[in-house]
Amino acid sequence: MRNIVGQTPRGDDFFPRNKVIDKIYRRLDSGSNIFMSAPRRAGKTSIMRFMEEFPHKGYAFVYVNVEDIEEEEDFFRSLSESLLASEAVSNLIKASSVARNIFEEFQEHIKSIKVWNIAIETQSKEAPKYSREFEKLMSRMDTSDFTIVMLVDEFPVTVEQIEKKNDSAEAIRFLHTNRSIRQRAKRGIQFIYTGSIGLPNIARKLDATATINDLNVVEVPPLTQAEANSFTIKLLKNYKVKYKRGVITYMLKSLKWLMPFFIQLVVQMLIDEYETNGLEITTDTIDKVFDKASNHRNNIYFENYYSRLDKSLMKEESSLAKQILSTIAQKNTVPLHTFKPLRNYAAILEILEFDGYINSNDDCYSFNSPILQNWWLKYAID
């Protein structure tokens, strides 16, 4: 197993999350559409890509990242094109003449929309829409022994960007359109939406919780102690790194928050240390690596935690989120009452918890990751 930091591990480099994957399949087997809830760096994209590469019998998965989409029609164009280009559809139309006819017609309609968008048309005609054609396709797909699952990554970001570029009414309409499509979809199609921003929080803010109450939520938790221990051993073994007894336990205790990314980042630095001096890894090495983990060389991994707030939140909300995080970083643990004078504090705290920055315990807030906290202290506080 190679140690892959910052990218999505694939194939043999993916550490199995069997409990989460089994839970997802149970929900799919029951006919549910899913929102996979996970903070940043939890490994949700890795889970989706693994399911896409190694599907259970009767399932095929189509992965689409919609993080940069700001318009409803662009969203459904992306889903339509990804679906038509997928191996899943190729396999299905080979096995079913009915499916072949449905998808051939769908493909022709998608082509006609593209032609319309570049051709000069009279104003008397109504422009065709990707969303309408996609909804028609979903309502026609009906198979009892084969299911295509659309894996829609960073869906909440799209909702927020539609709101920012247009208005709340447009974002609500977009959510309604998606719900309508899910409701009309037959047995041949299901959806898994994911995002490190809380979709329920966004829906509440828009007063549109009814648009997502049909989704079944599956959470992606941190690794258990046993999983994290096994993961770390496999990574170090692959690079033939020697370490003293008790070192892995000490490392995981220091990490606190056992998300795959943070384990991989520390392991990467331990490999570098071992290859540089050839000495067994000790607890002193762990302390040294933790001190270095949050330095400027790793800005590439952590700057997104800062910039993402500006991208996903309104200006006033982003400023408040940074203020809250700076306070917690400086004081380690901060009681809830400290933030009550701040406008809209409860919603911001919920967003920061969901997105993996902080956690609450007995109405006190602290950073999940000591490494991220140290980076924030060094580079994010004005």
pTM of the model: 0.86
State residue 58's pLDDT score.
87
> Rounded distance, CA 293 to CA 371, Å?
7
Residue 15 · residue 260 · CB < 8 Å: yes
Three-state secondary-structure class, residue 324:
helix
Q: How many CB atoms lie within 10 A of CB 87?
A: 11
What ranges make up the beta strands (E) of the chain? Answer: 33-37, 59-65, 147-153, 189-195, 215-219, 334-335, 358-361, 364-367
Distance from the first to the final alpha carbon of the chain:
40
State residue 211's pLDDT score.
96
CATH numeric code, 11-219: 3.40.50.300
> What's the half-sphere exposure (Cβ side, CA atoms, 13 Å) at 21?
17
State residue 188's pLDDT score.
80
38 DSSP assignment: -
Q: Which two tokens stand for residue 174?
A: 């977009």
State residue 116's pLDDT score.
62
Low-confidence stretches of the chain (pLDDT < 70) are: 95, 114-126
State residue 212's pLDDT score.
95
DSSP states of 344-373 as a string?
THHHHHHHHHHTTSEEEETTEEEES-HHHH
Fold classified for 298-379:
Arc Repressor Mutant, subunit A (1.10.10)
State residue 126's pLDDT score.
65
State residue 123's pLDDT score.
46
